[in-house]
Chain A
Amino acid sequence: MQTTTPTLELRNLSTEFRIGGKWHAAIRDVSLSVDKNETLAIVGESGSGKSVTALSILRLMPQTGARHGGGEVLLEGQDVTKLSEKQMSRLRGNAMAMIFQEPMTSLNPTMGIGDQIAEAVRLHRKLSWSDARKIALDVLEEVKIPAAAKRFNDYPHQFSGGMRQRVMIAMALACKPKVLLADEPTTALDVTIQAQILTLLDDLKKAYGMSVIFITHNLGVVAQIADRVAVMYGGEVVELADVNELFAHPAHPYTEALLRVMPRVDTDAANLEPIPGSVPAITAKPAGCTFAPRCALREAICETQHPGLSTLPGGTQQVRCFVRARQAGGQA
């Protein structure tokens, strides 16, 4: 199946933050790939590095206090970490677009939504305002904003939260990106609206043949939208699997714990099993496995050596755990 090169591939990507005069890795050795017409979900708790991964792909990390710590970001084979800032800004919003969590703060409150989208189009295409506005109206209709033509000149505050998020999606799609990065796009929305936005994103992915990286902390949302899933913990990918495999046979103890800790609407859970302890601070990462201090399967080796990603038999599931890799007979 993997005959063509993936649309986007991360190879050992690291990003570092300067804290107290020292550089600490916020994400390290992140290797992921997304194919055309595929949704990769990145799931993790606060501080797991999922948003930093997305911002690093687009090189949107602040210039001071953060730096590229090595690795490559390949967009159709081209390493974007080596591009100049000018070339990079030509890519952003064009071949790679991003949707943020808070649709109110991401839109310009002083400009009508139609013109905001048209402006984004004109930045990347040599088009007249009237042609750009036509494209803007098309995408607004495509994201199913009711009476899009009538609302073209309305301002962001005149829209509900769900509609604003649709406007954000329309803006991201206006230049027909190859890669769409969605950072918690439904977290601020009510569940019925969240369900509508998830369906919309899934339909658009198929219509455009996009590669989508969907960042969320909610495993329920992951099950809804993902084709493949990367579970992040402490700045690393600890498990990478096909969505069905991940939920049927979670391999990493952290993934298992996350599934046990989530209260479900469809079944009674007599007892949630909280994960003891908390996520380690970026400045105080354990020497061995990052999850070891909270792990029930911990062995002596876990506290001294850092596990790599092992591929489990079957070839599609990868896990960063000594114990589970050994039990499954996987190879590093």
Chain B
Amino acid sequence: MTTLLQVRNLVKRFESGGGWLGAPKQIVRAVNDVSFDVARGQSLGLVGESGCGKSTVARTLLRLIEPDSGTIHFNGIDVRAAGAAELRRLRQRIQIVFQDPFASLNPRRTVRQTLAEPLQVHGLGTPSEIEVKIARTLDEVGLPQSAMDRYPHEFSGGQRQRIGIARALVLDPELIVADEPVSALDVSVQAQILQLLERLKTERQLSFVFVSHDLGVVRHFCDEVCVMYLGRVIERGPTAQVLDAPLHPYSRVLRDSSPVPDPAARIKLSRIVGEVPAPTNLPSGCAYHPRCARMQPECKVTSPALLDIQANRQAACFFPMVEEALET
């Protein structure tokens, strides 16, 4: 498998305050030293709770948010160094699908206009070729041709998400960044959209960066997963392995608090304590130590790096749960 996307030591800081109104200046490290690779035809999941930086990572990949440091290489091309023309060519190959199918479509444009626009912007094809292309794409995402001249408000949530996916597909991208694409949908519709994405992945050899807070969805769709906590990747590995035998205590807590439809597997919650601290005021050492049941004095002092623990498995923890992983 060839690496399509390579991200190294990505950092994004946001600042607030410090203006003439006198609020103290605060710096939030939304993304802190994040590295990962995505191979062609592979899907990588980014999971974590609100504020862990997963959506910021997704947006920096397309430079919708400019990262502060680190490198992003797409098929060998340095995305951060790309000029305007180069970036436009890159964005043809990297497309994004957003969470909210209600807010991400222009209500005053018909489906035909919405789907034709990217092709016109990139100067791809004559009007008749564009027409053929969007008709074929509509077909591919499972929408009827009659949808062409209708407006977004005439569609249900699931159908709108199909339009959003079709808009990403018309340019024949190689990588799709999907930011919570099924979170706003009912479960039965969610399954339809997941099935569609999966079909596209195999038929078109598409790669995905898939942002989600739902571990069940990630397990179903993603080959690999990065678990994030307060801007850092704290565990990375093949999805099923990470969820079945997590190495980092936080991954374990996250898995254990995801409810499963089985009354016999009710969560034992005594260990799940505390909330995510404010990102403006990160704890010293390992950011997870105030909530961690396995905390040792060392964890308060230095921050653990993301290291290889087992084959293909990395975790940022001084005391990874290797023994427990063997038992289960």
Contact = CB atoms under 8 A, between A and B. Distances in A.
Interface of A: 45-46, 160-163, 190-196, 198-199, 217-224, 226, 243-244, 247, 257-259, 261-266, 268-269, 272-275, 278
Contacts of B89: none
B50 interface: yes
B220 A263 contact: yes
B275 interface: yes
Interface stretch (B3-11, B97-105, B190-198): B190-198
A262 B220 CA distance: 10
B263 A223 contact: yes
B188 A220 contact: no
| Chain B interface extent, by class | 35 or more
B311 interface: no
Contacts of B216: 220, 262-265
B263 A243 contact: yes
Given A192-B272, A269-B220, A264 B195 contact: no
A274 B195 contact: yes
B194 A263 contact: yes
A155 B192 CA distance: 42
A216 to B, nearest CB: 10
B217 interface: yes
In the A-B complex, the 8 residue pairs with the smallest Cβ-Cβ separation, listed nearest first, are A220-B259, A195-B257, A263-B216, A263-B220, A274-B191, A190-B49, A272-B191, A45-B186
B215 interface: yes
A313 to B, nearest CB: 21
B186 A223 contact: no
A278 B156 contact: yes
Contacts of B190: 261
A258 B189 CA distance: 11
A269 B269 CA distance: 26
B188 A222 contact: no
Interface of B: 49-50, 156, 158, 186-192, 194-195, 213-217, 219-221, 240, 243, 253-267, 269, 272-273, 275-276
A242 to B, nearest CB: 9
A230 B156 CA distance: 26
A262 B182 CA distance: 12
B219 A272 contact: no
Contacts of B191: 261, 263, 272-275
Contact of A191 (B213, B219, B243): B213
A223 B275 contact: no
B55 to A, nearest CB: 14
Nearest to B195: A274
Contacts of B259: 191, 194-195, 198, 218, 220-221, 223-224
